[in-house]
Structure 1
């Protein structure tokens, strides 16, 4: 299948071109820093941003895409489920 955009460099505002399942863990980094995070099941997220700042986001609805550059999703404090890292 042709990809008309394969020669262009994607910016951070471009659509994601890859995704991976995210399993929250209190010390392991994600396999790569995300461009966004898909939250399939509602809840809270305890995350470490690419900058190293730790934040907890609560009241996230299922089916939400959060445009966050994440380094980690912590197990402690995360109740959201079905997480997918988008890059």
Structure 2
């Protein structure tokens, strides 16, 4: 039973789902996430939801990055075990 099913999802509400990310230079993520979890430290090259390219440098393992990324690029990404959260 989900007691919160009838409540609207907000940006501060708990995340509802997740999916492992395979970095790809040409393909957007199948779902636009609300955040990204980083399991292994490193850099993350991405395209934001607004289309801006950016590289997050030296993201520590275990980080939860509250950024809506449309794409996680393979080129320039050294972090591993990345999970999209929405």
TM-score category (smaller protein): over 0.9
Q: Following superposition, which runs of at least 4 residues in structure 1 exceed 3 angstroms of deviation?
A: none
Length-normalised TM-score, structure 2: 0.97
Q: What secondary structure, in the 3-state scheme, does the structure 2 residue paired with 1:32 have?
A: coil
1:74 maps to which residue?
73
Q: Give the Cα separation in 1 of the matches to 2:13 and 2:66.
A: 11
Q: Give the Cα separation in 2 of the matches to 1:3 and 1:34.
A: 22
Q: Which runs of 5+ in 2 are unaligned?
A: none
2:60 maps to which residue?
61
Q: Give the Cα separation in 2 of the matches to 1:14 and 1:68.
A: 15
Query: What root-mean-square deviation, in Å, do the aligned CA atoms of Structure 1 and Structure 2 show?
Result: 0.6
Q: Which runs of 5+ in 1 are unaligned?
A: none
1:12 maps to which residue?
11
